Amino acid sequence: MSALVTSLPGYREPAARLAKALDLPFTATDVHRFPDGESKVTVPATPPATVVFCQSLDRPNDKLIELQLACATLRDLGTERILLVAPYLCYMRQDKAFHPGEAVSQRIIGRHLASLVDGLITVDAHLHRIHDLHAAVPLETAINLSAAPRLGEFLAGRVENPLLLGPDAESEQWVAQVAAAGGFDHAVATKERFGDRQVRIHLPDTDFRARTVVLVDDVISSGYTIAEAARAVRAAGAATVHCLVTHPLFAPGAEALLREAGVAEVWSSDAIVHASNAIHLADMLAATLQPLL
């Protein structure tokens, strides 16, 4: 056995799909949580020289510790090369200290991950002031893929002649790529933020009347931005509003908020496991991994 794929609990189905796409075995890494909150991690007992650790890092605090325990144990058991496939990469938004004493989490977590693994593949990393993943995760192999082509292909087979809308300037790169993949019209709104849960959306000079509008973004967390965008386009005459996202983080109450705002369907990739998952990324990830194996 030259290589295998493993994952922590909670991401086993996407990891198993990746193993199948790579024609590699999948062997789970188990985690037992003690009553005091500590974790006991058990990796495959006889790992090969190369291990692909497929693990999305949403809700990351426990997972980062468990990943560290797993990688250290794999090294102790003789694994020479660990390739981390983290379709959602955590702690990327804080890339500078805005006030004295603030931790720059992107730099700290990026260096930590680089100390654990030999290569990293992620999807639509939430980068702001840097545009090269290597600057956040100092590894020779640090690859940031885009799910946009897969999302565009999915939408082309699902919705006829939609108008794609990015809810803010940060979403422009994603909505443009998804639109290009499907040959769709697209536009981008602007956003004023007054707090984590208070935003105002200003629509572009676009005719939304009687259109099927698909709101596109890389991440949905609280849902407030997308909900405000949905209300705005419905008020502007849109016939139907859907939502398409790479990373369905969805804080508690976010889905209900979107429904109340008039969003009919929510579609997401399996970069994060969620009931809205409609687009599997295994083939895309496997195509990038194969040459590294």
Task: Tell me which residues are annotated as active site.
Answer: 191
- Beta strand extents in 43-80 (DSSP E only): 50-54
Q: What is the number of alpha carbons within 13 Å of residue 183 lying toward its C-beta?
A: 4
Chain-centre distance for alpha carbon 113: 17
Rounded to whole angstroms, what are the CA distances from 257 to 163, 244, 253?
22, 15, 6
CA distance linking residue 118 with residue 103, whole number of Å: 25
Category of 237 on φ-ψ map: left (φ > 0), alpha (ψ -120 to 50) or beta:
left
Helix 60-76 / helix 105-116 crossing angle, nearest 10 deg: 20
Cα separation of 260 and 155, whole Å?
23
